[in-house]
């Protein structure tokens, strides 16, 4: 999308707006990208100032744990340098699935599979007097 397209169709939930892109170009320098396509920046004058420009939906759960630690200042170096490599048994991070068809639905819920288990008898319903 060109500059004019970004200016007229950019909204905060779809990525960087024109003002964010302008601020980033003037005051930040790119330090890295993750596997999803998010781009991470650090302030030119203040290295403690850090931010992300999302590739797609503007959702904080789409930031991998290593980059999340870097954004919050928990680690000072970039995640590839400060953290050990991913172990074979670790699964890749997944964005928040709430509100999607992939969301967890426990058994017995309206959207879930199965039937709610019967009451065990240790529950007394309240009856008004």
> pLDDT tens for residues 1-47?
565 555 555 455 555 666 677 777 778 899 999 988 999 999 889 88
User: To which residue do tokens 């319903």 refer?
Assistant: 125
Reported as type and span, the H/E element at residue 9 is helix 3-9
User: Has this prediction a pTM greater than 0.75?
Assistant: no
CA atoms within 13 A on the CB side of 116: 7
Q: For residues 59 and 63, give the distance between their C-alpha atoms in angstroms, rounded to a whole number.
A: 8
Phi, psi angles (nearest 5°) of residue 50: -135, 145
In the chain, where the domains are located: 12-82
User: To which residue do tokens 């970004």 refer?
Assistant: 6
For 49-106, what is each residue's pLDDT tens digit?
A: 998 988 888 888 889 999 999 999 999 999 988 888 889 999 988 888 888 888 888 7
């Amino acid at each position: 999308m060109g500059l004019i397209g970004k200016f007229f169709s950019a909204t905060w939930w779809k990525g960087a707006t024109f003002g964010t892109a302008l601020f980033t170009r003037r005051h930040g320098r790119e330090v890295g990208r993750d596997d999803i396509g998010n781009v991470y920046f650090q302030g030119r004058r203040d290295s403690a100032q850090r931010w992300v420009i999302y590739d797609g939906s503007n959702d904080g759960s789409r930031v991998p744990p290593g980059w999340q630690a870097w954004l919050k200042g928990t680690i000072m170096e970039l995640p590839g340098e400060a953290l050990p490599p991913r172990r074979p048994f670790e699964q890749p991070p997944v964005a928040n699935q709430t509100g999607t068809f992939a969301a967890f639905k426990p058994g017995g819920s309206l959207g879930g599979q199965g039937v709610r288990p019967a009451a065990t008898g240790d529950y007394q319903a309240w009856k008004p007097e």
